[in-house]
Amino acid sequence: MDKSTFHAALQQRFADVTPHVAACGMQLTAVDDNGVEAWLPFREEWLGDTERGLIHPGIVTVLVDSACGAAVLARIADLERIATLDLRMDYLRAGLRDHDIHCRADCYHLTPSIAFVRASVWQQDRALPIAVSQSAFMRAGRRGAAAIA
């Protein structure tokens, strides 16, 4: 499968192959050679603080982990099983009620064994991220790879 076919399949089947991504209503809105953009529509269920109407950081981590995994696959452009080794989140500002959450994840370095990824999360303005993240993934070969294509 060529790269653009794989990217199109990844974008389309992202939710189909990942039950938790489907359960959250998350979608990939763009896939390119280095990474992806993901979109998570707002739900009241995402709140951590109802008094102040703040998004729970946990759901932001779910979005980031999903987008970063997809970014690694976009960069590899082939079916492969990957596993998160570590992931760090910095919560720069509070996520607010009633606004969707967007994430850009880039796999900025890839070795035969490891993928390094950074990501940024925002709501209304891409220039005002609510969180940034850094993570590393292990490449574990084709066995057990989710069937994307």
Partner 1 sequence: MSTPIGSMLAEARRRAREHADFDGFVALVPYARFLGLRVEAQGGQLRMRLPYRRELIGNPALPALHGGVTAAFMENAALLHLLLRLDEDRIPKSIDFAIDYLLSARPQDCFAECEVTRAGVRVVHTQIRCWQDVPERPIAVARAHFLLSYPE
Identify the residue among 9, 54, 96, 110 touching partner 1 (CB under 8 A): 54
Binding to partner 1 by residue 65, rule CB under 8 A? yes
Rounded to an integer, what distance in angstroms lies between the CA atom of residue 28 and that of residue 10?
A: 8
Report the nearest approach of partner 1 to the CB of residue 97 (Å).
10
What track of x and - describes contact with partner 1 for positions 78 through 107 (by CB under 8 A)? ---x-xxxxxxxxx--x-------------
In this structure, the chain runs to a length of 149
Task: Check the CA dihedral 55-123-20-57 and report its sign.
Answer: negative
Which of 70, 144, 142, 62 is CA-nearest to residue 95?
A: 62
The residues in 8-27 that bind partner 1, with binding defined as CB under 8 A, are 17-23
Rounded to an integer, what distance in angstroms lies between the CA atom of residue 41 and that of residue 99?
A: 8
Report the nearest approach of partner 1 to the CB of residue 35 (Å).
17
Report the nearest approach of partner 1 to the CB of residue 61 (Å).
5
Rounded to an integer, what distance in angstroms lies between the CA atom of residue 118 and that of residue 33?
A: 15
Binding to partner 1 by residue 41, rule CB under 8 A? no
Identify the residue among 27, 32, 61, 116 touching partner 1 (CB under 8 A): 61
Binding to partner 1 by residue 149, rule CB under 8 A? no
b/e per residue, 25-46, with b = 16+ CB within 10 A?
A: ebbbeebeeebbbbbbebeeeb
CB-based contact 59:21 (threshold 8 Å): no
Identify the residue among 1, 4, 5, 49 touching partner 1 (CB under 8 A): 49
Binding to partner 1 by residue 127, rule CB under 8 A? no
Write out the residues near partner 1 by the rule CB under 8 A. Answer: 17-23, 44-52, 54, 56-59, 61-66, 69, 81, 83-91, 94, 144-147
